[in-house]
Amino acid sequence: MLENCSWFLLVPVWVSIIIMGAKFLGISFHKKYIVGLSILSTIFSSLYCLYGLHFSYLGNQTEFLISFIKIDSFNFQLGVYVDLLNSLFGLTISIITFAIYIYSIFYMDKEKSFSRYYSLMNLFNSGILAFIFSPNLFQIFLFWEIIGVVSYLLIGFWYQKNTVSLDAKRVFLVNTIGDICLFAAFIIISFTVCFITNNMNLVSLPFSELNIITSAFYGATSPIMYKFVLLLLIIAAVVKSAQFPINSWLINAMSAPTPVSALIHSSTLVCAGVFLLMRLFPMIALDNQTIYLVGTIGIITALVTSLSALVQTNIKKVLAYSTSAQIGLVFLSIGCYNPILGIIYLISHACIKALLFMCAGVVIKLVDNKNIMFMGEFRKCTPVVALCFIVGAISLSGLGFCGFNTKHLLTEAYCSGIHSTLIFAFIGALTALYIFRLYFLVFENTASYECENLECSKQNSLCKSSYFMLIFMAIIVILLSLVTPNGHICPLYIVNLIMVLVAWYFYNTKFKLKRLPCIHHILTNGFYINKIYYWGEIYLYKYFSCVCLFIDKYILGSLEKLMVWMISSISNREINLQSNNFQSYISYGILIIIILMFVFSAIYLFILNLFGV
Amino acid sequence: MKNSIINCVTAYNYQIISLILFSVGLIGTLTAKNFIKVFISLEFIVNAINILFVSFSSYKSESAYLGYFVAIYITAISALLLAIGLYFTYFVYKKFNTIEIEKIYAKYKDVKKC
């Protein structure tokens, strides 16, 4: 039954092709058909994931493969691999995508390129589903690239604006670094494994035989080489999931429309890196140092980005930094040898973040401004949005619903000493602080406009549809709390409650904190990581181009001049057959004699050859 | 001492010397500005050929001293030719009053009958 229904996963691709093909031929469908088809595709994929969940709940796995390239036993295969991890992720993604499609009707209301948006979203949906259900590392790499490309196209959706297209280009170029590392790791592992086991069926590194691959690769390489390859994989995951050294692309990616941010850069694309690590967990777990590195990267990211999120004035940047931080905590859970906890955390975080982004999108659309200093009093204008935002904020800071369970499980796994407890408490406090700062500044603060002047009072039905989706996501967040395992209540989270009160005090009332100028600037600019990269790129480009100029002008230029001299020195001479001394005639004679010597010897040898000597 | 390599002078070495001397003589003939230098270079060539023929005496042949005979014969003949050449230079000098080849050629073009 699963085998026959695997085409469900291909429906989004067909929808995308239909929409774009029709546009190419000049037919433009009405909005309702486009949206209807997209929603149908998400319903199909969620049904498939539900059935897959039912099938794999007890730990079964199955796969259906098509040969992509086949030369005797050298076999690159594409297909579908159904597993518990896969089905869970697929289900969350399908549900979030469903909500985003309906939400987009409201957000992209007056958009001219409506069909381009929906076709790209469908393409992305199909890409991420194929990525998640991939049976081997080859397909993972293939769709890793594809979702990177589609993310570039979606970030640059409003490409007519210069900054947006530059940001999109930058994001894509940064993601290419991860692609290169993943490709290199794939080639190295594939080659060594096939070389050692002499079994070309493993050339695409299927996950059903991960044990063989791990043991073969571990045995075939020296410890340093093993660590190097795992480092490449970790770099790929770090780049894709926006962890510490390379987290600035997520800030650039916030030039995208908000539904795109909600889907891609909070729930799905940034999960791709961690998904890779979870899939290859047996390989990574063999080495202590790599697991330690993963955990360290996670906790450092969480610290750095949480600090940066405290002082941002753009809603989406706060949420972007928050995404980096939470994915850092997932890295941390992998570092504690607990990928299952990571999965649960990831799923709950995806739903929470999607909810928060959707609320932010409504608010942005109503005020046409992303700066929270120009917002306020939304609790009176749109109480539904405020309620949903509170649900998300409570979950994110670990005080209730599904965030409560997951955070407490993570505390159990990680906090085993005074230092780890302190750091984790600090991060949790920061989380509560920045998210409730956002709530109080946006929804409770005094505003300079009247509620009735906002758009929402004029277009009731569209707003209501978005509200329905917000409520839908909030309900999902609440329901997830029933599904996730309960952790012991930790007294640590009183800190978070205190932080909520702190946020209320400082951001709601008239009392304003004095800004520490130095620290404030560092945090606002995201610890200047972005600026360091820009500076480095400019200097690299400048000096590299100077070097290239030098080589071109002096080394290659002198080579050219040499060639020219060599040929012109011969061609510019005046050959005089008659000269004013008899010795030139002698030299001509000797030249002819030498030529004749060669000719005669050649004839002599030729004749000897004829006679078979 | 048993496995040591002993270098000795072979016919090959004589032939190399002959080649060097021949090339010296050749270059001398082709780039000489002085009339007499040409004759001297010709002597170089002849002596090189002599050495070559002498080196062939180490090869297996019916008579062991053929090379030497040829060398003596050629020496004599070259001496004769040198004498004739010197006789020739005397008349050239009398006519053109120089020894340098380029000036002779220039003056030769002016002379209508020679």
Residue of B nearest to A589 (CA): B30
Q: What is the pLDDT of residues A446-495, one digit of tens each?
A: 766 666 666 655 556 667 777 878 888 888 888 887 777 776 677 777 88
Query: Closest Cα of chain B to A589: distance in Å?
Result: 11
CA angle, A44 as apex, A43 and A50 as ends, to 5°? 85
Q: What is the pLDDT of residues A204-228, one digit of tens each?
A: 898 988 999 999 999 999 999 999 9
A234: Cβ contacts below 8 Å, ≥ 6 apart = A277, A284, A290, A293, A294, A297
Distance in angstroms (rounded) separating the CA atoms of residues B39 and A41: 104
Whose tokens are 């010197």? That residue is: B86
A261: Cβ contacts below 8 Å, ≥ 6 apart = A253, A254, A316, A319, A320, A357
Q: Answer yes or no: do B32 and A580 touch at CB < 8 A.
A: no
Which pLDDT score is estimated for A475?
82
Which pLDDT score is estimated for B113?
58
Distance in angstroms (rounded) separating the CA atoms of residues A62 and A613: 73
**Sign of the alpha-carbon dihedral angle for A292, A294, A296, A302:** negative
Query: Closest Cα of chain B to A184: distance in Å?
Result: 56
Q: How many angstroms from the chain centroid is the CA of residue A3?
A: 29
Specify whether the CB–CB gap between A45 and A125 falls below 8 A.
yes
Which of A96-110, A177-191, B4-18: highest mean pLDDT?
A177-191
Whose tokens are 């695997």? That residue is: A6
Q: Give the number of residues written for chain B.
A: 114
Tokens matching residue A419? 């230092």
Residue A573 confidence (pLDDT) above 70: yes
- Partners of residue A580 in chain B, C-beta under 8 Å: 101-102, 105-106
Q: Write out the H or E segment, with its range, that includes residue B1.
A: none
Which pLDDT score is estimated for A535?
86
DSSP one-letter string for A169-232: HHHHHHHHHHHHHHHHHHHHHHHHHHHHH--GGGTT-BGGGHHHHHHHHHHHS-HHHHHHHHHH
- Partners of residue A584 in chain B, C-beta under 8 Å: 30
Distance in angstroms (rounded) separating the CA atoms of residues B106 and B91: 17
Distances (CA, A) of A58 to A55, A84, A275, A485, B61: 8, 8, 21, 17, 101
Distance in angstroms (rounded) separating the CA atoms of residues B103 and A253: 88
Mean pLDDT of chain A: 86
Distance in angstroms (rounded) separating the CA atoms of residues A457 and A594: 104
- Partners of residue B26 in chain A, C-beta under 8 Å: 590
Report residue A142's pLDDT band, with 50, 70 and 90 as the boundaries: very high
pLDDT (average), residues B14-42: 93
Share of chain B above pLDDT 70, in %: 96
Which pLDDT score is estimated for A365?
83
Q: What is the pLDDT of residues B35-82, one digit of tens each?
A: 899 999 999 999 999 999 999 988 988 888 888 999 999 999 999 999
Distance in angstroms (rounded) separating the CA atoms of residues A255 and A253: 5
Distance in angstroms (rounded) separating the CA atoms of residues A125 and A131: 10
Is B4 near chain A, with CB under 8 Å?
no
Angle between helices A315-335 and A339-367 (to 10 degrees): 180
Measured between its terminal Cα atoms, the distance across chain B in Å is 72
Which pLDDT score is estimated for A448?
66
Which pLDDT score is estimated for A35?
87
- Partners of residue B30 in chain A, C-beta under 8 Å: 583-584, 586-587, 590
Of A580, A586, A590, the CB nearest to B102: A580
Is B38 near chain A, with CB under 8 Å?
yes
Distance in angstroms (rounded) separating the CA atoms of residues A262 and A469: 13
Phi, psi (5° rounding) for residue A267? Answer: -115, -35
Q: What is the DSSP-derived secondary structure letter of residue A136? A: B
Which pLDDT score is estimated for A450?
65
Tokens matching residue A115? 């069909």
Radius of gyration of chain A (CA): 32
Distance in angstroms (rounded) separating the CA atoms of residues A464 and A340: 37
Q: What is the DSSP-derived secondary structure letter of residue A458? A: T
* Amino acid letter for position A217: F
DSSP one-letter string for A218-287: HHHS-HHHHHHHHHHHHHHHHHHTT-GGG-HHHHHGGGS-HHHHHHIIIIIHHHHHHHHHHHTHHHHHT-
Secondary-structure breakdown of chain A: helix, strand, coil percentages, each rounded to the nearest 5: 80, 5, 15
In this structure, what is the dihedral angle of CA atoms A444, A447, A451, A455, given to the nearest 10 degrees? -110
Return the number of other C-beta atoms located less than 10 Å from residue A24's C-beta: 8
- Partners of residue A582 in chain B, C-beta under 8 Å: 101, 105
Q: What is the DSSP-derived secondary structure letter of residue A64? A: E
Of A580, A586, A587, the CB nearest to B105: A580
Strands of A31-103, DSSP E: 62-71, 74-82
Please, what's the b/e burial string for A303-337 (b: 16 or more CB within 10 A of its CB; e: otherwise)? Answer: bbbbbbbbbbebbbbbbbbbbbbbbbbbbbbbbbe
Residue B18 confidence (pLDDT) above 90: yes
Residue A363 confidence (pLDDT) above 80: yes
Specify whether the CB–CB gap between A431 and A399 falls below 8 A.
no
Q: Answer yes or no: do B32 and A583 touch at CB < 8 A.
A: yes
Residue of A nearest to B27 (CA): A587
Radius of gyration of chain B (CA): 20
In this structure, what is the dihedral angle of CA atoms A144, A251, A405, A506, given to the nearest 10 degrees? 180
Q: Answer yes or no: do A580 and B30 touch at CB < 8 A.
A: no
Query: Which of B22, B27, B29 is the best substitution to test chain A (most A C-beta atoms within 10 A)?
Result: B29
- Partners of residue B31 in chain A, C-beta under 8 Å: 583
Residue of B nearest to A585 (CA): B30
With a threshold of 0.90, does the pTM exceed it? no
CA angle, A598 as apex, A596 and A600 as ends, to 5°? 65
Q: Answer yes or no: do B26 and A590 touch at CB < 8 A.
A: yes
Distance in angstroms (rounded) separating the CA atoms of residues A13 and A36: 15
Residue A309 confidence (pLDDT) above 80: yes
Tokens matching residue A134? 């991939």
Share of chain B above pLDDT 90, in %: 56
Angle between helices A418-439 and A383-396 (to 10 degrees): 170
- Partners of residue A586 in chain B, C-beta under 8 Å: 29-30
Query: Closest Cα of chain B to A556: distance in Å?
Result: 38
Q: Answer yes or no: do B31 and A583 touch at CB < 8 A.
A: yes
